Structure 1
């Protein structure tokens, strides 16, 4: 990080200014890396914050268009600034919308069933299970306003049939993640992520295909 609060990602290929609340790190890098380089349609980063995942995805897939979907106006402003900073305005747009609301999505210009790839790093915690910080920006980034299943339902509504989905979440939320995608995705693959060898997994990366009938797969683990 430099004196003007600019963070570097992808060995300096992406420069990002981040505000209060959630700050992108390993989770964003791992999720963005799930982007196939041959995507040439629309990629949506749901809950984009300042745009880290979607902007990295745009670099991974140079032929794709990318939409950063975010509800917080301040984060949307940062995302637009980061798009311009990295020279990606021709391919990346911001959609200020509530993913939980079909009306809000439509008002922002998001159409159901159009995305080739949806990436999401949803809020990890439920308000009833954690002590919620009084900092509204941080609370919005980390504490879900609705069950995970509703977030996933909104995200998958935007995904085209045969489109690909990727989500990173806490490892101890695996059961909730599988329940959220049940009947909506097939070919689900779970990749456990370990912070160090010999310790329990801290994250899981879940991938799947809308409309697929392929079975569940448990992938080899990744140790950071």
Structure 2
């Protein structure tokens, strides 16, 4: 196993898949900062991969418990190794389960209804019918969805959350319409923050928070810009990678 990467200014160390496979980066950093869990709450990272987002949440919020959910056996092994590497075995666990499986199969694997107070998730981004897929199996599976899979993914998020549980989601900016469709009737109180690579370019990502069964209105938050004109991180992006929080609305 290769040497681990240092994350969040050294607060966290992560074994990642080999080069060429899907490796956690800035998207995971943004998602880990998106919603601060209440002390004593349980956070579920759905589609956890090697555990970057969930373990970053644990590192940033020492009073919460984290459950990492992943279906690929090699990534489950990496996630468990990362739990041990960071000394988080007392409040982080790993469930091997397919998020898109039937409810009976998910529940049998331990992904139970009402398990979490907060779900964070980075679903696969690309529709198999519209995008050229990677020839690397692990990268392809991490990045691609079939028709209707986003709806199924968010249905599982809803099932996993307890009453008034909260969701934190990152997705492509051009998938906003599909996200809203899948969230409708399940979540309310949406807060949407566009993320831009540079200030003069269209958004590339959206960060969405929502509350299960809420009737609160949707709000659009100020944008987050990741890079300056010279390609260097903005001060806000630098702070996030060091473990500081997202700018407030």
Residue aligning to 2:8: 10
Contact 1:126–1:147 (8 Å) recurs in 2:
no
* 1:74-93 equivalences in 2 (<5 Å): 74-93=74-93
Instruction: Report the alpha carbon displacement of residue 141 of structure 1 after superposing the two structures with TM.
Output: 0.6
RMSD of the TM alignment (CA)? 1.4
Cα deviation digits, residues 4-40 of structure 1 (max 9, x gap): 3421111011000111421111100000001315342
Residue aligning to 1:155: 157
- Whole-Å separation in 2 of the counterparts to 1:147 and 1:190: 21
Q: How many pairs align?
A: 222
Residue aligning to 1:44: 44
Q: Which moved more, 1:206-215 or 1:128-137?
A: 128-137
TM-score by length of 2: 0.86
Structure 2 residue 200 is the aligned partner of structure 1 residue 187: no
Residue aligning to 1:30: 30
Partner SS for 1:189: strand
Residue aligning to 1:124: 125
Partner SS for 2:140: helix
Structure 2: where are the runs of 5+ without partners? Answer: 227-249
**Runs of 4 or more consecutive aligned structure 1 residues displaced over 4 Å after TM superposition:** none
Structure 1: where are the runs of 5+ without partners? Answer: none
Cα deviation digits, residues 104-129 of structure 1 (max 9, x gap): 32122121023100000000001111
- Whole-Å separation in 2 of the counterparts to 1:24 and 1:132: 18
Residue aligning to 2:98: 98
- Whole-Å separation in 2 of the counterparts to 1:22 and 1:68: 17
